[in-house]
Amino acid sequence: MCGIVGYVGPDEAVAIVLDGLSQLEYRGYDSAGIAVINANGVLTTAKDAGKLANLRSKVPSALKATGAGIGHTRWATHGRATPLNAHPHTDCSGEIAVIHNGIVENHRELRQELQARGCTFRSETDTEVIPHLIEMGIKEGLGLADAVAAALRRIDGAAAVLALRQQEPGVLVAARVANAGGVVIGYGAGEMLIASDLPAIAQRTQRVVFLEDGEMACVTHQGATYTDLHGEAIEKEPQTLPSGSYVAGKGLYDHYMAKEIAEQPEAVLDTLRDAAQLEPPAVHLNDLHLSDSEVMGLNRVVLIGMGTSFHSAQVGRIYVEQLAGLPAEADNASEYRYRRPVLDENTLVIAIGQSGESVDTLAAMHEAKRRGAKVVTVCNTPGSQATRLAQGTVYMHCGAEVAVASTKTYLGSLTALYLLACYLGQKRGFLSEDHLLAALSDLARTPQIVGEALKTEAAVQKVARRYRRARNFLFLGRGMQYTTAMEGALKLKEVSYIHAEGYAAGEMKHGPISLIDSQMPVVAIAVRDEHYAKMLNNIEEVRARDGIVIAIATEGNEAIHEEARDVIYVPDAPPLIQPMITAVPMQLLAYHLARLKGCDVDQPRNLAKVVTVE
Ligand code: G6P
């Protein structure tokens, strides 16, 4: 969703803010803009629709900032992606600039009220009410910080806001209400930075403070003071995050997605490395913070996530059932939070997220906590909101994932969930030492098997070339491969814009079979597992209706050629590991079809890496 960057300090704010925005490009957005106070002390904005390159060309080369600057990447919610709707938005005088991530739910009423009070609106956005509300506060004699607080007290909805005022050139005011996207305040050397995401400031500082819901910061180059929205002071101490490259380059790859698919053996290995011990078998999860008695008291596990992380939850459910012996269910976080879920202190809620910032997952975590459940997270981003909200974290160690479509964090999260399930099984005495050793040995082999699975690329490319003109795809699987089918369909939709559906193969005869004709490629995940014979029946049913079968089969299964027009062989793997293996050709198929179609693989249209509005 929207990205926010701010800078106060002696260096050139225009360049620093634009660099910060470029670190957020991977999130996906549709327009961008900046505001600074120029050398003559005048607040100046530049904005444009499209990529950052468009904005850069709009920024006058002579523009020099004095002191402070703010920048924004927008993902449209209210009003199309046009230069006028891009942030920053200003008040009537053009002396106050505001950038915003979130939704102002009562913007219609506020707009009417402000128009009646003489304000002129220039955009179609909900955001524009905020600078006008601040303008009203300033007219009543407030300074910028108090006027921002007063404005935010008037709005319903979520808001992470950064404001700049011509008359207070060395000050930035940041605020966060109603669990909007993150706001991090970075302490540099004689300078301060503000951002929605760590990568935007990580090159200049690792010393940070995170704003919580209802908190504001008044920031100068010397530091920040913190208050609530009523001016009550709040003490907040900066913490130093582990250093590390938050955003790595593309290297020799054409796209981040290709690089991240290729990095998967490493992502799995790095995630299991310090947690899984074989002699004697044990799992160590140092950041989980669940006491043995809490683990023993559990009688149920609920796994939640969004997008690909929801698919991880579905596989994780089976891990928990089979490795920990606990009843488990998986749910989409955005649905779960509104379902009035029945939870108590014996329920463990596992929230899964690459970013730890997906608004629906965070809201579901709040709801679960409110209802007394124990809430932990499986996450790839240290310092993210999910890790701060949860009682404990199982980290995936995948490194920065830049492509909007998640790939390596899918395998990373499955690895972390497998470890967590083994941990629960070990602590609860459900897994004998032999079982635990067998389970961990299977996991230890996984990086190597994933490496083998990457060799499917040539076969996948052939298939992609053959079906590049297909307008629809069906993905079928059973058991854990049902989830792979859904993940395959999601990846294809996300990056290639080809319509695709993933179904449990058993569901076929209850509807989807009517879609089958000679134009419909059907990817059937038919590895050798307990469902294989049934999958063959489903493949027959597709063939009998002239459907085109692309089988994902276990190496050595020559007979499958008689059933399928195309075969992609994957290496054999232990049953619980198999979904990590079959996911690889799914990702590669989506990637190659998107490439062949000339799509923007890393930043697909309409999508954002982190979804911070409902
Ligand atoms: C967005 C991304 C997906 C991701 C989903 C959940 O939709 O485009 O790739 O799977 O958010 O994100 P999370 O950070 O919560 O895993």
Query: What amino acid positions are annotated as catalytic residues?
Result: 2, 609
| 356 C-alpha to ligand 1 centroid (Å) | 9
Q: Is the CB of 542 under 6 A from ligand 1?
A: no
Q: Residue 607 CA: which ligand 1 atom is closest?
A: 8
Q: Residue 355 CA: which ligand 1 atom is closest?
A: 14
pTM: 0.81
Pick from 70, 64, 28: nearest CA to 47 = 70
Q: Residue 309 CA: which ligand 1 atom is closest?
A: 16
Nearest CA, atom 5, ligand 1: 307
Burial class of 541 by CB neighbour count within 10 A (0 to 12, 13 to 18, 19+)? middle
| 260 C-alpha to ligand 1 centroid (Å) | 15
Nearest CA, atom 7, ligand 1: 307
Tell me what pLDDT residue 242 has: 66
- Walk along the chain (614 residues) in steps of 10 and give the mean pLDDT of each run: 91 94 80 94 94 90 86 88 94 96 93 96 95 97 97 92 96 88 91 91 91 94 96 94 62 89 94 93 96 98 98 98 98 90 95 94 95 97 91 94 95 98 98 97 96 96 96 96 98 96 91 87 96 93 92 96 95 98 98 96 85 76
Q: Which two structure tokens, joined as six digits, stand for 16?
A: 């620093």
Residue 352 in contact with residue 312, Cβ under 8 Å?
A: yes
Q: Is the CB of 405 under 6 A from ligand 1?
A: yes
Pocket test for ligand 1, best of 603, 610, 613 (most atoms within 8 A of CB): 610
Burial class of 223 by CB neighbour count within 10 A (0 to 12, 13 to 18, 19+)? middle
Q: Which two structure tokens, joined as six digits, stand for 292?
A: 């043995």
Q: Is the CB of 607 under 6 A from ligand 1?
A: yes
Tell me what pLDDT residue 246 has: 54
Tell me what pLDDT residue 245 has: 45
Pocket test for ligand 1, best of 75, 198, 354, 396 (most atoms within 8 A of CB): 354
| 355 C-alpha to ligand 1 centroid (Å) | 7
Residue 192 in contact with residue 238, Cβ under 8 Å?
A: no
Tell me what pLDDT residue 160 has: 92
Pick from 183, 150, 145: nearest CA to 167 = 145
Q: Residue 608 CA: which ligand 1 atom is closest?
A: 8
Q: Is the CB of 358 under 6 A from ligand 1?
A: yes
CB atoms within 10 A of CB 606: 11
Q: Is the CB of 609 under 6 A from ligand 1?
A: yes
| 353 C-alpha to ligand 1 centroid (Å) | 7
Q: Residues 6 or more apart from 488 whose CB is under 8 A from it?
A: 475, 500, 502, 523, 525, 583, 586, 589, 590
Tell me what pLDDT residue 247 has: 59
Q: Is the CB of 579 under 6 A from ligand 1?
A: no
Q: Is the CB of 484 under 6 A from ligand 1?
A: no
| 514 C-alpha to ligand 1 centroid (Å) | 31
Nearest CA, atom 15, ligand 1: 353
Q: Residue 308 CA: which ligand 1 atom is closest?
A: 10
Q: Residue 405 CA: which ligand 1 atom is closest?
A: 9
